[in-house]
Chains A and B, each alone.
Chain A
């Protein structure tokens, strides 16, 4: 299985901040990396697919990038509704593994 190592596991930030969450794959996954946002009691919501493509309806303050097997999700100008848990997922090779999650909390 491809292991996805996500960091940090938690992050405190303020409204208006810029934050970055990273995800490292244990092997090459090409650009088959997705990011999801999950709020309490809700299903995960797809934010970014294929490393850097914004899902329809997702605000442009969310962006994704890669450097080799390292992938990043950046949120510019944090909004109150952005405080949630974020997961990366590789869909290069089944099983489609997720990172452990990053809890983004209000400072």
Chain B
């Protein structure tokens, strides 16, 4: 069974960089069949797709966040990561990592991790 688990600080100061890692089990991030994505959800609001990365390192980011987002893949550790720079209170949300394909959608998700941006 594929499982994903987000980890990282739950509190980040304004203007700093949010850093999260997603650890994958039951599959390999090296797999070329899937992309690995990040989605976020402010409390009580809808889902926002942040971006995706393939094992090759090829990535696509949401234009609304593109200037601040960096994603990477760590194949030896079977992890992928998200960095979001210059955060503000508007970046406070639950962040999810997921596995997906364009045809099959995002089929496995992590449980989510709440990140609060506050001084």
Contacts and interface: CB of A to CB of B under 8 A. Distances in A.
- Chain B interface residue count: which class? 20 to 34
B102 interface: yes
A43 B109 contact: yes
A91 B103 contact: yes
Contacts, number: 70
A91 B102 contact: yes
* Chain B interface, >50% SS class: strand
Contact of A95 (B63, B96, B101, B110): B63
Interface string B4-35: 00000000000000000000000000000000
Given A1-B63, A43-B110, A43-B111, A50 B49 contact: no
Interface of B: 37, 39, 46-49, 51-52, 60-64, 96, 100-107, 109-112
